A and B are shown apart, each in its own frame.
Chain A
Amino acid sequence: MEHFRRSLLEHAPALRRYARALTDDIARADDLLQDSLERALNRVHQYQTGTNLKAWLFTIMHHLFVDGLRSAKSGPVLVELDAATLDLPVVQPTDGGLDDLGAALLRLPAEHKEVVLLVCLEGWGYQDTARILDIPVGTVMSRLHRARETLRQQIFGADEAGGAP
């Protein structure tokens, strides 16, 4: 158990980065991080020693993130009290600044965002990403292509390179 906790601490920074990129909200990201680690500790018996702990932790975070989105959608009166994410000003593509990236990420569907962040930010391979999200590798590839193309065109502007069939 002691070793397990130390391992959690080791993976916490990467999990936090992923949470931050998913939510684009410091407080929510830290909540997501804490909830994920709590769940990991509560379900330590489900973890198979010798398997990839980091991937298991990312899987837990993925589930909590999706659960959060689902319950947010099912609520009757949902008011964003601490995030202005729904009313983001439309940012025109300019010079590829970070604001463009932030706005483009917020517009991305959650399932595309997860794939692009796991692969491009967290450096997971396609097989691992497929396992974390519990989807086929082919789906990872197609979502990755669509998400990356969307981001690329929003940040750098559409051009013939991406538009060619």
Chain B
Amino acid sequence: MTSNSKPITDAYLHAYVDGQLSAAQRAEVEAYLDANPHKARQVQQYRMLNQQLHGRFDASMDEPLPEAVLALCQASAPAPSPKLWWGRIAAAVAWLAVGGGAGWLLHSGAERPQNVVTASAQQHAYDAHRFYVREGRHVVEVPAADKGHLMKWLSGRLGAQVGPADLTGAGYQLLGGRLLPAGDHASGIYMYENAQHERITQYISTEPGVSGISAPQCETRTTLSVCVWNKDALTFVLVGAAPPDELQTLAQQVREQAQRPVP
């Protein structure tokens, strides 16, 4: 390094690696690096770091986009609205038809096989909530008006007496419910709505996986809260946009009511 050249700061070295310098500035840095092998190595390692980042994450750009994302971006699809959103529905129906759980299992299997089964009930509940929460008229298969029939029907398919909870104390009314496939297993949802039209989904499933969680455990998944617990052979999941502590309180209520014998 010549004595009359101006000092090269770290910021300058980063800018050099990131292609933010003019040709003249680049020449200046290169002269400095020729004279300072340690700094040259540092710069080389920054470059290698960039390469490693690309090596690790670039492959994700070539993977086919999720169906739901494709549907969202389809030119013919209507704008997303809380009412009907056919692109999204079509994508989710396709997802269910492909075998529900299988898609999810394959999807994340490569990353963490040891957690796949544990995650599936929450994932199914999460997907079901996101899928149906936007529906207006068709949000449920059987409306709350037919509660007795709904309860009998879902209980029959789940092999256990499972009724909807009474969450009116917390401001949520039952909208109704529906039956869903969960791989080879059955699952059902009850959906509730409050005066602000915020909806929560109670998902009940016979799918194996989570076990031994007696008190609801909650986590945040992007914009939603997800609480999970077990009762006998069933897995219960509550999903909603409420903050996790609020959803936890609701989950406690659902759980306590489910402990009582169904009339």
Q: Which residues of B contact A30 (CB under 8 A)?
A: 66, 69
Contact A98 B61 (CB under 8 A): no
Partner among B11, B80, B210 whose Cβ is within 8 Å of the Cβ of A141: B11
Decide yes or no: A120 and B50 within 8 Å by CB, A75-B245, A82-B119 being known contacts: yes
Partner among A20, A64, A117, A160 whose Cβ is within 8 Å of the Cβ of B222: A64
Contact A98 B52 (CB under 8 A): yes
Tally B residues with Cβ within 8 Å of A: 65
A-B Cβ contacts below 8 A, count: 185
A64 to B68, CA, bound (A): 18
Contact A75 B218 (CB under 8 A): yes
Contact B69 A12 (CB under 8 A): yes
Contact B38 A119 (CB under 8 A): no
Contact B49 A120 (CB under 8 A): yes
Say how far A16's CB is from chain B's closest CB, in angstroms. Answer: 6
When each residue 115-141 of chain B gets 1 if its CB lies under 8 Å from chain A and 0 otherwise, what string results? 100110011000000000000000000
Say how far B123's CB is from chain A's closest CB, in angstroms. Answer: 7
When each residue 8-38 of chain A gets 1 if its CB lies under 8 Å from chain B and 0 otherwise, what string results? 1100111011001100011111111111011
Contact B220 A27 (CB under 8 A): no
Q: Which residue of B lies closest to A1 (CB)?
A: B79
Decide yes or no: A16 and B60 within 8 Å by CB, A26-B108, A71-B220, A76-B245 being known contacts: yes
Chain A, interface SS category: helix
Contact B14 A77 (CB under 8 A): no
Contact A145 B10 (CB under 8 A): yes
When each residue 40-58 of chain A gets 1 if its CB lies under 8 Å from chain B and 0 otherwise, what string results? 0110100000000000000
Q: Which residues of A contact B118 (CB under 8 A)?
A: 81-82
B1 interface residue (CB < 8 Å to A): no
Q: Which residues of B contact A14 (CB under 8 A)?
A: 61
Partner among A84, A144, A151, A156 whose Cβ is within 8 Å of the Cβ of B14: A144
Which of B70-78, B178-186, B199-207 contacts its partner? Answer: B70-78
A162 to B217, CA, bound (A): 44
Say how far B31's CB is from chain A's closest CB, in angstroms. Answer: 18
Decide yes or no: A78 and B55 within 8 Å by CB, A41-B80, A152-B49 being known contacts: no
Contact A64 B223 (CB under 8 A): yes
Say how far A143's CB is from chain B's closest CB, in angstroms. Answer: 11
Contact B74 A5 (CB under 8 A): yes
Q: Which residues of A contact B187 (CB under 8 A)?
A: none
Q: Which residues of B contact A133 (CB under 8 A)?
A: none
Known: A64-B222, A161-B42. 16 other contacts (CB 8 A): A12-B69, A16-B63, A17-B58, A27-B107, A68-B223, A71-B243, A75-B219, A77-B244, A78-B244, A79-B218, A81-B118, A82-B108, A101-B56, A119-B18, A121-B57, A126-B20
Q: Name 19 A/B residue pairs within 8 A (Cβ), A-sorted.
A: A2-B75, A5-B73, A5-B75, A16-B65, A17-B60, A32-B222, A37-B69, A68-B222, A74-B244, A76-B245, A77-B244, A78-B244, A80-B219, A101-B53, A101-B56, A119-B18, A144-B14, A152-B42, A156-B48
